[in-house]
Amino acid sequence: MAHTTPPLTPMSLSTLMGRVVHEWETRKKIFDLPNARIWRPDPDVDLSFEFLGRRCATPVGPAAGPHSQMAQNIVLAWLGGGRLFELKTVQVLDDLEIGRPCIDMETIGFNIEWSQELEVAQSLEEYVKAWMAIDVLRRWAPLREFVGDDPGSHVFDMSVGYDLEGIRTEKVASFIRGMHDAAAVIDSLRPQLTGPFAEFADLDFEPVISKTLTLSTFHGCPPEEIESITKHLIDEHDLDVIVKLNPTLLGFENVAALLHDELGYHDIPLHREAFDADLQFDRGVELIGELRDFAAERGRHFGIKLTNTLVVENHRGFMPEDTMYLSGPPLHVISTRLLGRLADALPGQLAIPGHDGDILVSFSAGVTKANLADTVATGLNPATICSDLLKPGGYGRLAPMLRGLADELRAAGCADLASYRARRLAEADAAGHGSTIAHYVERLRGEDGDPYRLDANQKLPRHVDHELEMFGCVACNFCITVCPNDAFFSIKSLEGMPDRQQYLLFTELCNECGNCLVFCPEEGDPAMIKPRLFTDPDVFGGREGQGFLLTDGVITDARADDGTVALVQQLLDSEQGLPLGEVRR
């Protein structure tokens, strides 16, 4: 649905922190994440790794995408145990209209979304808000028993796109400088730390939020452009840089054979033009070596990221646009296969077991709880996640992933990732492979590849034959957990209401991505049918359909009948109530 209003209106830091306190006191949750899903480091297992010269307490975090766009998303990922945050890509064109819905997770995972949907200055402020909120929460006494005395270090890795001209503009350059030195933005936000957080208003927040950057280039970006941008970022901004590679690097024939013949996804048409226009394998190998040398000469770190999503023809029709981007299980196999080829072509250069070079390899392609240990064993870090967090459970899937990884290390008799990798390398050697990635690629060709094949990925989300209504539903909670922006929340039902929980929407946090529509078992779109709350009169006025405008927790305008307005107000006034500390009456 096209709007005249912005797709997202961030909550202020004071509103977010008010939400934290209110939800904790009334629900023992933060941004709807229950305390049981908060990750606490295991004192016997060190999951830390070195990211471009910086220590990072766990090898996982949100991939640049919907889970790293707004401040509460980043805080949620931190609570779940993410410690490496690939911030959503920022670019000069910050008022693009993106088609909706933009996420299709019904099966393996497709999307058409790309860069930030906020203005560049807003993006900077969101990242600073998240940075400050995490620093506060790691010290906040009520959370101590859940996050531990030392939740460990974290890293914000920024991302910019998509061409040199845009990256050189003052708008993008000032964003990068702002991430280098956020003191002014931090100072402007300090007065919003009030109430139980007032003691942190003068905290010595680290002003250097990020000095690393993952470069995202457009499809068809010529190698000279990738080279120029990387050199510009190193020379002009003194950054450690990771270049994100496209899966098209593996070549059309190879990807077609893998996706269609080996994995069985015959119905997904590849987009040949993207393969022809993108960086080709041999030139890519040269470029990686050249950029590594360029960075090393300047005392900077360099890395590669595997991979971007794979552009395919839009054969499903759920989202608009002619092409879309594939992620999830098949991308995991495509990206590991690409890494295997790159490792062979760059012997001794990649920082993975069996090669021991200095080019960091970060990875984001279908990472799940089931394959995290294998992914990390191949030397890939961080392993960042998007598709899996868009499934029911959402950010709450992170902590079990990390606990599973810690259990795996413990079972292998390893106290840290380095010793675990050494052990897995010995296993790979014993199996006749010179590296863990070569061993993993071979395993995925056999039975271990079954979970990635079409047969294992055809199950559709649960469906019940019932029209979704504003009040009452099967109360599965999916609309809360699958939402990357935590736009939904629930309130215990009032006496006489159907079902045990009622679900309401902070409409200004909803960008109509479509993910709750896909997973809601009932018929209808939760983001349109459940009570839609607004706090901004302009956004309320600019949207159509039912809605309730709140002023200090009171409905002051509505597009609904009087009885419905009274019922929503009663819910907001109930014991659990509206989780907006600051604006609650």
Task: Kindly list the residues in this chain that would bind ligand SF4 in the complex (CB under 6 A).
Answer: 468, 473-479, 482-483, 485, 487-488, 503, 505, 510-516, 520-522, 526-527, 530
In the block, residue with structure tokens 């002009």: 236
For ligand SF4, the closer of residues 244 and 530 by Cβ is 530
Of 138, 248, 229, the residue nearest 176 (C-alpha): 229
Question: DSSP string of 346-384?
Answer: STTTBSSTTT--SBEEEE-SS--TTTHHHHHHTT---EE
Supply the minimum distance, in Å, between the C-beta of residue 83 and ligand SF4: 24
Closer residue to ligand SF4, CB minimum distance, 69 or 212: 69
Rounded least distance, CB 103 to ligand SF4, Å = 7
Q: Minimum distance between the CB of residue 159 and ligand SF4, rounded to whole angstroms?
A: 21
Question: Among 280, 293, 175, which Cα is nearest to 234's?
Answer: 293
3-state secondary structure of 156: strand
CA atoms of 194 and 191, how far apart (whole Å): 7
Q: By three-state DSSP, how is residue 174 classified?
A: helix
Distance CA 9, CA 437 (A): 43
Least Cα distance to 263 among 461, 444, 459, 460 occurs for 444
* Identity of the residue, 404 or 524, whose beta carbon is nearer to ligand SF4 in the bound complex: 524
Q: How far is the CB of 509 from ligand SF4 (least distance, A)?
A: 7
Q: How far is the CB of 331 from ligand SF4 (least distance, A)?
A: 21
Residue 551's CB is within 10 A of a number of other CB atoms, namely: 12
Q: Which is nearer to ligand SF4, 72 or 230 (CB)?
A: 72
What is the C-alpha separation between 248 and 256, in angstroms, rounded? Answer: 10
Closest CA to 182 of 163, 208, 162, 144: 208
**Rounded Cα–Cα distance for residues 83 and 86 (Å):** 10
Edge-first strand order for the sheet with 554-559 is 488-492, 501-506, 532-534, 547-551, 554-559
User: Would you state the structure tokens that stand for residue 372, as one six-digit string?
Assistant: 């995290």
Q: Which helix (H) or strand (E) holds 343?
A: helix 329-345
For the CB of residue 74, give the shortest distance to ligand SF4 in the complex, in Å: 16
Shortest Å distance, C-beta 70 to ligand SF4:
10
Q: For ligand SF4, give the closer residue by CB, 26 or 477.
A: 477
SS3 of 468-494: the string is CCCCCCCCCCHHHHCCCCCCEEEEECC
CB of 505 to ligand SF4, least distance (A): 6
**Could you tell me if residue 510 is left (phi over 0), alpha (psi between -120 and 50 degrees) or otherwise beta?**
beta
Residue 220 vs 521, nearer CB to ligand SF4: 521
Q: What are the beta bridge partners of residue 506?
A: 533
Report helix angle 71-80 to 398-411, nearest 10.
30
Residue environment code for 511-523, b if the CB has 16+ CB neighbours within 10 A, otherwise e: bbbbbbbbbbebe
Half-sphere exposure of 319 (CA within 13 A, CB side): 28
Q: At what angle do helices 223-237 and 281-297 cross, to 10 degrees?
A: 10
Measured from the CB atom, the residue of 363 and 478 that comes closer to ligand SF4 is 478
State which residue, 388 or 522, has the beta carbon closest to ligand SF4: 522
CB of 507 to ligand SF4, least distance (A): 8
Q: Which is nearer to ligand SF4, 182 or 482 (CB)?
A: 482
Q: Which residue lies nearer to ligand SF4 by CB, 143 or 482?
A: 482
Q: Hey, CA dihedral for 482, 216, 336, 309, is it positive or negative?
A: positive
Residue 203: CB minimum distance to ligand SF4, A: 31
Q: At how many degrees (to 10) do helices 329-345 and 436-445 cross? A: 140
**Smallest separation (angstroms) from ligand SF4 to the CB of 462:** 10
Dist. CA 295–CA 238, nearest whole Å: 10
Shorter beta-carbon distance to ligand SF4: residue 363 or 489: 489
Q: Considering beta carbons, is residue 455 or 499 the nearer one to ligand SF4? A: 499
Whose Cβ is closer to ligand SF4: residue 298's or residue 463's? Answer: 463
